[in-house]
Structure 1
């Protein structure tokens, strides 16, 4: 089966390109601080909600996601489209039509609109300005284009992944910061989360006993889903696409620690050096 171009983009060009960072020594594993818990909880499509766990195929490969309020939620804040997960009449998931989209924005130009009802639009314009100052990606207000991103009010922070080929959304609740918006734009550009790299076990330990029920799939390596890819450089603890140590914790204890057992903070300030290198490879 020919792998759709979207999957090639997502899993060979994206995973692991977010790298090249150095971090100071962190404290040993400890309960999550309130600000870390709040940051991890904010970056969910539907905070405090869980849905039916479903398995299907995406780009010809198996994938698990939650269905919440009609949305197909992957890795907490990624919304898959019906085209990406097409369902047959019998309910069996089949490869979707993601191959008909490019996944990547042609010429690195993202057309966008901001819903007038969205409060605090400065977080959107600030995030766009940050991307434009630190990457070759350009953002242009949509006029008549049929493929574009709309920033709108949401229950949490979430985004479609890559260019879908039609109108797509970045959803922002009131608690979604400029940093969260930079992260969600990363998804719209085609970036997945850093901790799903093939080589991540050389850098971190995943403490599955502390992960919230139903969110275990958020920590699955892309190779475990059957995808090929290339990891560039070392895992980037400072990436804006990286989970923090306490993301999706069920008990306030860490879900991801460094190999020496120390924890690290979630970073939602701006693109790291590795993020910039990765996006340069893509665009």
Structure 2
């Protein structure tokens, strides 16, 4: 049935419909949409209690990782990973979903471990469907430009294609018939869900290319470079400078700049991949250095010069290791 409905909606996307025909289709879908709206899962509030892991922040409906990575507590595809994060934060054993030999590798962080694995879900065949729901034409073009760059550096292993923002596509996103990314432009920060989700979405309110490339990296399944568990071997983080620059609360600073513990981090990794062990100071997934009163928020620990004659970090374009890693994943 799902395949038949998706085929039908694909045909609608290609068809040239009159306003009357389109309104009739929407009219037929409305009762089903209303039913799903009324029966959406209700998120459990405060799942971590007083045991919130470093680098995480919890809201009523989401778990926020690193400031801009969203785990929607209502999404059934997040149930196991959230459950295991909570269980590990409370010192309980993880849910044993399936036994695999895990090689925990991401952006260079490497450790061998036999255990239970529930990692990020990637887009099958690298094919990412998306739907604009808010951005204007100029904003759409900026996002499409960043998509083309990810496609180019992946040697076309990643490919983005668009759904029209029609009611039937909103319907299949809502009910999980066809997983695709809903792209919005609300004025509440830039953020994205991680990898393929039932309700994947990305919001952009800063349309610079580095921001869009970064958020698309999360959509493709990439975590933050500066929050990996071994980051203290490579960088020094000055949270006081970061707080003075951004004017953020203590909790928001911790959410954005604290490293993620190894136990928590391993739930976001893909097994059976090989990647460089090198830390990528210039990754698009690395928060950049910011300066306040002559002090930087992040600097290289080895003191080597990266930009402007200073040991600063953070990517504004896709690095060579970003390009290598995305081809490894897909």
TM-score bracket, shorter-length normalisation = 0.5 to 0.7
Q: CA deviation at 1:256?
A: 1.6
Residue 172, structure 1, aligned to residue 204, structure 2? yes
Distance 1:64 1:234, change over 3 A: closer
The separation in 1 between residues aligned to 2:293 and 2:200, in whole angstroms, is 34
Deviations 1:11-62 (A, max 9, x none): xxxxxxxxxxxxxxxxxxxxxxxxxxxxxxxxxxxxxxxxxxx6739xxx95
Mapping of residues 254-265 of structure 1, within 5 Å = 254-261=296-303, 262-265=310-313
Q: Deviations over 1:138-178 (max 9, x none)?
A: 112236652000111122111001111x23211011x3322
The 3-state SS of whatever aligns with 1:80 is strand
Residue equivalent to 2:6: none
Contact 1:67 1:73 in 2 (8 A): yes
Which residue in 1 is equivalent to 2:158?
A: 137
In the other structure, the counterpart of 1:123 is 142
In the superposition, the TM-score normalised over structure 2's length comes to 0.56
Contact 2:48 2:86 in 1 (8 A): yes
Identify unmatched segments of 5+ residues in structure 1.
Answer: 1-53
**TM-score, normalised by the number of residues in structure 1:** 0.64
Question: 2:3 maps to which residue?
Answer: none
| Residue in 2 that maps onto 1:181 | 212
Summarize deviations over 1:172-202 as a string: whole Å, max 9, x none. 11x3322211110100111011112343222
Selected match of 1:103 from 118, 121, 124: 121
State the shift of 1:110 in Å.
0.6
Distance in 1, matches of 2:313 and 2:54, equals 28
Q: Tell me the residue number matched to 2:180.
A: 148
Q: Which residue of 1 aligns with 2:287?
A: 243
Larger Rg: 2
> Take 2:218 and 2:320, find their aligned partners in 1: how far apart are those partners?
18
Pairwise CA distance, 1:275: 0.2
1:5 maps to: none
Instruction: Quote the residue 2:315 is aligned against.
Output: 267
Matched residue of 1:56: which SS? Answer: coil
5+ long unaligned stretches in structure 2: 1-45, 88-93, 98-116, 164-168, 244-249, 304-309
Query: 2:328 aligns to what?
Result: 281
Matched, 1:201 2:232: yes
**Which protein, 1 or 2, shows the higher relative CO under an 8 Å CA cutoff with sep ≥ 6?**
1
Quote the Cα distance in structure 2 between the aligned partners of 1:258 and 1:178: 24
Instruction: Sort the Cα spacing of 1:226 and 1:182 in 2 relative to 1 into closer, same or farther, 3 A.
Output: closer
Note closer, same or farther for the CA distance 1:101–1:281 as it changes in structure 2 (3 Å cut).
closer
Distance 1:75 1:227, change over 3 A: closer
Cα RMSD for the two superposed structures = 3.5
